[in-house]
Amino acid sequence: MNEYENKGRQGILYLCATPIGNLEDITFRVLRTLKEVDLIAAEDTRNSMKLCNHFDIKTPLTSYHEFNKYDKAKVLVDKLRAGADIAVITDAGTPGISDPGEELVRQAVQAGINVTSVPGPAACINALIISGLPTRRFVFEAFLPSDKKERAVVLEELSHETRTMIIYEAPHRLCRTLAELAEILGGDRQIAVCKELTKRHETVYRSDIKGAVDYYNANEPRGEYVLVIAGLNREDIIRDKQDAWKEMPLEEHLKHYESQGIERREAIKLVAKDRGVPKREIYNMTLNFPK
Protein backbone atom coordinates (compact mmCIF):
# COMPACT_ATOMS: atom_id res chain seq x y z
CA MET A 1 0.00 0.00 0.00
CA ASN A 2 1.20 3.51 -0.79
CA GLU A 3 2.18 5.49 2.33
CA TYR A 4 -0.69 7.94 1.71
CA GLU A 5 -3.43 5.59 0.49
CA ASN A 6 -4.85 5.00 3.96
CA LYS A 7 -6.40 8.49 3.76
CA GLY A 8 -8.89 7.18 1.23
CA ARG A 9 -8.84 10.38 -0.83
CA GLN A 10 -6.69 12.47 -3.10
CA GLY A 11 -4.42 14.97 -1.45
CA ILE A 12 -4.73 18.75 -1.47
CA LEU A 13 -2.17 21.15 -2.90
CA TYR A 14 -1.69 24.19 -0.66
CA LEU A 15 -0.02 27.34 -2.02
CA CYS A 16 1.43 28.92 1.11
CA ALA A 17 2.64 32.52 1.13
CA THR A 18 5.78 33.14 3.19
CA PRO A 19 7.37 36.42 4.35
CA ILE A 20 9.16 38.58 1.78
CA GLY A 21 11.48 39.99 4.44
CA ASN A 22 9.88 40.26 7.84
CA LEU A 23 9.26 36.90 9.51
CA GLU A 24 6.45 38.41 11.58
CA ASP A 25 4.35 38.55 8.40
CA ILE A 26 3.75 34.80 8.35
CA THR A 27 0.15 33.88 9.19
CA PHE A 28 -1.10 31.42 11.79
CA ARG A 29 -2.88 29.50 9.03
CA VAL A 30 0.31 29.13 6.97
CA LEU A 31 2.18 27.84 10.05
CA ARG A 32 -0.55 25.31 10.82
CA THR A 33 -0.72 24.15 7.21
CA LEU A 34 3.04 23.69 6.92
CA LYS A 35 3.02 21.58 10.08
CA GLU A 36 0.04 19.45 9.06
CA VAL A 37 0.84 18.57 5.42
CA ASP A 38 2.79 15.46 4.48
CA LEU A 39 5.38 17.27 2.36
CA ILE A 40 6.62 20.80 1.63
CA ALA A 41 7.82 21.53 -1.91
CA ALA A 42 10.29 24.42 -1.63
CA GLU A 43 11.99 26.52 -4.29
CA ASP A 44 15.23 26.51 -2.27
CA THR A 45 15.33 23.93 0.52
CA ARG A 46 18.27 25.67 2.21
CA ASN A 47 16.35 28.93 2.59
CA SER A 48 13.16 27.13 3.52
CA MET A 49 14.95 25.05 6.15
CA LYS A 50 15.83 28.29 7.97
CA LEU A 51 12.16 29.25 7.95
CA CYS A 52 11.10 25.80 9.17
CA ASN A 53 13.70 25.76 11.93
CA HIS A 54 12.65 29.22 13.09
CA PHE A 55 9.03 28.14 13.46
CA ASP A 56 9.78 24.56 14.59
CA ILE A 57 8.25 22.94 11.51
CA LYS A 58 9.32 19.29 11.17
CA THR A 59 7.57 18.45 7.88
CA PRO A 60 9.88 16.89 5.23
CA LEU A 61 11.11 19.21 2.48
CA THR A 62 11.65 18.45 -1.19
CA SER A 63 13.11 20.73 -3.85
CA TYR A 64 10.85 22.16 -6.54
CA HIS A 65 12.45 24.88 -8.65
CA GLU A 66 12.74 26.37 -12.13
CA PHE A 67 15.12 23.71 -13.43
CA ASN A 68 13.12 20.64 -12.37
CA LYS A 69 9.58 22.07 -12.44
CA TYR A 70 8.17 19.90 -15.23
CA ASP A 71 9.44 16.48 -14.15
CA LYS A 72 9.16 17.16 -10.42
CA ALA A 73 5.61 18.43 -10.85
CA LYS A 74 4.66 15.01 -12.28
CA VAL A 75 6.18 13.32 -9.22
CA LEU A 76 4.33 15.62 -6.85
CA VAL A 77 1.03 15.16 -8.70
CA ASP A 78 1.43 11.37 -8.36
CA LYS A 79 1.87 11.83 -4.61
CA LEU A 80 -1.22 14.05 -4.48
CA ARG A 81 -3.21 11.44 -6.39
CA ALA A 82 -2.08 8.88 -3.84
CA GLY A 83 -3.40 10.99 -0.97
CA ALA A 84 -0.49 13.19 0.09
CA ASP A 85 -1.23 16.74 1.19
CA ILE A 86 1.51 19.00 -0.17
CA ALA A 87 2.37 22.61 0.57
CA VAL A 88 4.28 24.73 -1.94
CA ILE A 89 6.44 27.63 -0.77
CA THR A 90 8.68 29.99 -2.69
CA ASP A 91 11.82 31.76 -1.50
CA ALA A 92 9.64 34.71 -0.50
CA GLY A 93 6.07 35.74 -1.09
CA THR A 94 3.19 33.96 -2.77
CA PRO A 95 3.98 30.85 -4.85
CA GLY A 96 2.61 30.71 -8.38
CA ILE A 97 3.36 34.36 -9.09
CA SER A 98 6.36 34.60 -11.39
CA ASP A 99 7.83 31.33 -10.09
CA PRO A 100 7.74 27.56 -10.81
CA GLY A 101 4.61 27.02 -8.72
CA GLU A 102 2.58 27.99 -11.77
CA GLU A 103 3.53 24.76 -13.55
CA LEU A 104 2.68 22.55 -10.58
CA VAL A 105 -0.72 24.22 -10.26
CA ARG A 106 -1.34 23.67 -13.98
CA GLN A 107 -0.56 19.97 -13.77
CA ALA A 108 -2.51 19.54 -10.54
CA VAL A 109 -5.61 21.20 -11.98
CA GLN A 110 -5.39 19.02 -15.10
CA ALA A 111 -5.21 15.97 -12.85
CA GLY A 112 -8.32 17.02 -10.94
CA ILE A 113 -6.43 17.76 -7.73
CA ASN A 114 -7.93 20.22 -5.25
CA VAL A 115 -5.71 23.35 -5.20
CA THR A 116 -6.14 26.03 -2.56
CA SER A 117 -4.31 29.18 -1.52
CA VAL A 118 -3.17 30.06 1.99
CA PRO A 119 -2.69 33.81 1.44
CA GLY A 120 -0.09 36.20 2.73
CA PRO A 121 2.60 38.59 1.46
CA ALA A 122 3.09 39.35 -2.24
CA ALA A 123 5.71 41.94 -3.21
CA CYS A 124 3.75 43.16 -6.24
CA ILE A 125 0.65 43.97 -4.16
CA ASN A 126 2.66 45.48 -1.30
CA ALA A 127 4.42 47.81 -3.74
CA LEU A 128 1.22 48.77 -5.54
CA ILE A 129 -0.72 49.82 -2.47
CA ILE A 130 2.07 52.03 -1.07
CA SER A 131 3.07 53.53 -4.43
CA GLY A 132 0.60 56.39 -4.37
CA LEU A 133 -0.43 55.53 -7.93
CA PRO A 134 -3.90 54.34 -9.04
CA THR A 135 -4.71 50.84 -7.75
CA ARG A 136 -8.12 50.04 -9.28
CA ARG A 137 -6.65 48.74 -12.54
CA PHE A 138 -3.15 47.32 -12.80
CA VAL A 139 -1.04 44.90 -14.81
CA PHE A 140 1.80 42.74 -13.46
CA GLU A 141 4.73 42.10 -15.80
CA ALA A 142 7.17 40.50 -13.29
CA PHE A 143 10.72 40.57 -14.73
CA LEU A 144 11.03 41.92 -18.26
CA PRO A 145 12.31 39.40 -20.84
CA SER A 146 16.08 39.14 -21.18
CA ASP A 147 15.85 38.51 -24.94
CA LYS A 148 16.40 41.87 -26.63
CA LYS A 149 13.67 41.52 -29.28
CA GLU A 150 11.08 40.12 -26.90
CA ARG A 151 11.93 42.84 -24.38
CA ALA A 152 11.42 45.54 -27.01
CA VAL A 153 7.99 44.11 -27.90
CA VAL A 154 6.89 44.07 -24.25
CA LEU A 155 8.11 47.61 -23.62
CA GLU A 156 6.31 48.84 -26.74
CA GLU A 157 3.09 47.24 -25.49
CA LEU A 158 3.56 48.86 -22.09
CA SER A 159 3.99 52.28 -23.71
CA HIS A 160 0.28 52.13 -24.66
CA GLU A 161 -0.93 50.72 -21.32
CA THR A 162 -3.53 52.74 -19.39
CA ARG A 163 -3.37 50.58 -16.26
CA THR A 164 -0.77 50.97 -13.52
CA MET A 165 2.18 48.69 -14.31
CA ILE A 166 4.24 46.58 -11.89
CA ILE A 167 7.71 45.27 -12.79
CA TYR A 168 10.32 43.37 -10.76
CA GLU A 169 13.98 44.21 -11.22
CA ALA A 170 17.36 43.14 -9.84
CA PRO A 171 19.80 45.83 -8.64
CA HIS A 172 22.43 45.25 -11.34
CA ARG A 173 19.84 45.81 -14.10
CA LEU A 174 17.86 48.64 -12.53
CA CYS A 175 19.61 51.60 -14.20
CA ARG A 176 19.38 49.99 -17.64
CA THR A 177 15.68 49.25 -17.21
CA LEU A 178 14.89 52.75 -15.97
CA ALA A 179 16.72 54.23 -18.97
CA GLU A 180 14.68 52.04 -21.34
CA LEU A 181 11.45 53.02 -19.61
CA ALA A 182 12.36 56.70 -19.92
CA GLU A 183 13.07 56.30 -23.63
CA ILE A 184 9.98 54.29 -24.54
CA LEU A 185 7.34 55.38 -21.99
CA GLY A 186 8.63 58.93 -21.56
CA GLY A 187 10.70 60.51 -18.83
CA ASP A 188 7.74 62.43 -17.40
CA ARG A 189 5.78 59.28 -16.50
CA GLN A 190 5.30 58.88 -12.73
CA ILE A 191 7.02 55.95 -10.99
CA ALA A 192 7.48 54.52 -7.50
CA VAL A 193 10.67 52.50 -7.05
CA CYS A 194 10.13 50.21 -4.05
CA LYS A 195 13.15 48.62 -2.38
CA GLU A 196 13.48 45.86 0.23
CA LEU A 197 9.77 45.71 1.03
CA THR A 198 8.86 44.85 4.66
CA LYS A 199 12.56 44.84 5.63
CA ARG A 200 14.42 47.23 7.90
CA HIS A 201 15.71 49.33 4.99
CA GLU A 202 12.44 49.51 3.04
CA THR A 203 12.32 52.63 0.90
CA VAL A 204 10.05 54.05 -1.79
CA TYR A 205 11.48 56.58 -4.24
CA ARG A 206 8.65 58.47 -5.93
CA SER A 207 9.29 60.75 -8.91
CA ASP A 208 8.99 60.77 -12.67
CA ILE A 209 11.07 58.20 -14.57
CA LYS A 210 13.69 60.76 -15.59
CA GLY A 211 14.19 61.67 -11.93
CA ALA A 212 14.56 57.97 -11.04
CA VAL A 213 17.19 57.54 -13.78
CA ASP A 214 19.22 60.44 -12.41
CA TYR A 215 18.87 59.28 -8.81
CA TYR A 216 19.94 55.68 -9.34
CA ASN A 217 22.79 56.64 -11.67
CA ALA A 218 24.12 58.70 -8.77
CA ASN A 219 23.23 56.16 -6.04
CA GLU A 220 24.25 52.54 -6.61
CA PRO A 221 21.18 50.26 -6.48
CA ARG A 222 21.23 47.66 -3.71
CA GLY A 223 18.58 45.12 -2.80
CA GLU A 224 15.55 43.90 -4.73
CA TYR A 225 13.23 46.35 -6.49
CA VAL A 226 9.61 46.57 -7.52
CA LEU A 227 8.77 49.32 -10.01
CA VAL A 228 5.24 50.72 -10.04
CA ILE A 229 4.60 52.90 -13.10
CA ALA A 230 1.64 55.08 -13.96
CA GLY A 231 -0.35 54.12 -17.04
CA LEU A 232 -1.32 56.55 -19.76
CA ASN A 233 -4.10 58.96 -18.88
CA ARG A 234 -7.17 58.09 -20.96
CA GLU A 235 -8.07 61.74 -21.37
CA ASP A 236 -4.59 62.40 -22.75
CA ILE A 237 -5.01 59.56 -25.25
CA ILE A 238 -8.35 60.96 -26.43
CA ARG A 239 -6.86 64.46 -26.67
CA ASP A 240 -3.89 63.18 -28.70
CA LYS A 241 -6.23 61.42 -31.14
CA GLN A 242 -8.35 64.54 -31.49
CA ASP A 243 -5.27 66.68 -32.11
CA ALA A 244 -4.11 64.24 -34.79
CA TRP A 245 -7.47 64.49 -36.58
CA LYS A 246 -7.38 68.29 -36.32
CA GLU A 247 -4.13 68.33 -38.29
CA MET A 248 -6.08 66.93 -41.27
CA PRO A 249 -7.88 69.55 -43.39
CA LEU A 250 -11.58 69.49 -42.56
CA GLU A 251 -12.69 68.84 -46.14
CA GLU A 252 -10.30 65.90 -46.39
CA HIS A 253 -11.56 64.55 -43.07
CA LEU A 254 -15.16 64.71 -44.32
CA LYS A 255 -14.25 62.98 -47.59
CA HIS A 256 -12.54 60.25 -45.55
CA TYR A 257 -15.98 59.10 -44.42
CA GLU A 258 -18.01 60.01 -47.50
CA SER A 259 -15.66 57.92 -49.66
CA GLN A 260 -16.85 54.93 -47.61
CA GLY A 261 -20.45 55.55 -48.69
CA ILE A 262 -21.46 57.36 -45.52
CA GLU A 263 -24.03 60.14 -46.02
CA ARG A 264 -22.93 63.68 -45.23
CA ARG A 265 -25.09 64.11 -42.15
CA GLU A 266 -23.64 60.97 -40.57
CA ALA A 267 -20.11 61.86 -41.75
CA ILE A 268 -20.42 65.23 -39.99
CA LYS A 269 -21.29 63.42 -36.75
CA LEU A 270 -18.22 61.21 -37.08
CA VAL A 271 -15.94 64.13 -37.86
CA ALA A 272 -17.25 66.06 -34.86
CA LYS A 273 -16.64 63.06 -32.62
CA ASP A 274 -13.09 62.58 -33.96
CA ARG A 275 -12.23 66.22 -33.33
CA GLY A 276 -14.02 66.53 -30.00
CA VAL A 277 -16.12 69.50 -31.10
CA PRO A 278 -19.89 70.11 -31.34
CA LYS A 279 -21.65 68.66 -34.38
CA ARG A 280 -23.19 72.08 -35.15
CA GLU A 281 -19.72 73.61 -35.43
CA ILE A 282 -18.67 71.11 -38.10
CA TYR A 283 -22.00 71.49 -39.90
CA ASN A 284 -21.58 75.28 -40.17
CA MET A 285 -18.00 74.95 -41.37
CA THR A 286 -18.96 72.50 -44.11
CA LEU A 287 -21.99 74.30 -45.55
CA ASN A 288 -20.06 75.43 -48.62
CA PHE A 289 -18.22 72.15 -49.20
CA PRO A 290 -19.16 70.41 -52.48
CA LYS A 291 -21.23 67.27 -52.16
CA distance 51 to 47: 7
pLDDT of 118 > 60? The answer is yes
For residue 6, the model assigns a pLDDT of 58
For residue 46, the model assigns a pLDDT of 93
Q: What is the mean pLDDT of the chain?
A: 93
Per-residue pLDDT tens for 40-58?
A: 999 999 999 999 999 999 9
CA distance 145 to 147: 5
For range 10-39, the mean pLDDT? 97
Hey, how many other C-beta atoms are within 10 angstroms of the C-beta on 214? 15
Percentage of the chain modeled with pLDDT above 70? 98
Hey, how many other C-beta atoms are within 10 angstroms of the C-beta on 236? 10
End-to-end CA distance of the chain: 88
Q: Are strands 138-143 and 164-169 parallel, antiparallel or unpaired?
A: parallel
Order of all β-strands in the sheet with 86-89: 61-63, 39-42, 86-89, 12-16, 114-118
- Stretch (H or E) spanning 143: strand 138-143
Order of all β-strands in the sheet with 203-208: 138-143, 164-169, 225-229, 190-195, 203-208
Q: Which of 175-189, 202-216, 262-276 has the lowest mean pLDDT?
A: 262-276
Residue at 96: amino acid letter? G
CA distance 20 to 27: 13
Residue at 72: amino acid letter? K
CA distance 248 to 287: 18
Q: At what angle do helices 250-258 and 264-275 cross, to 10 degrees?
A: 130
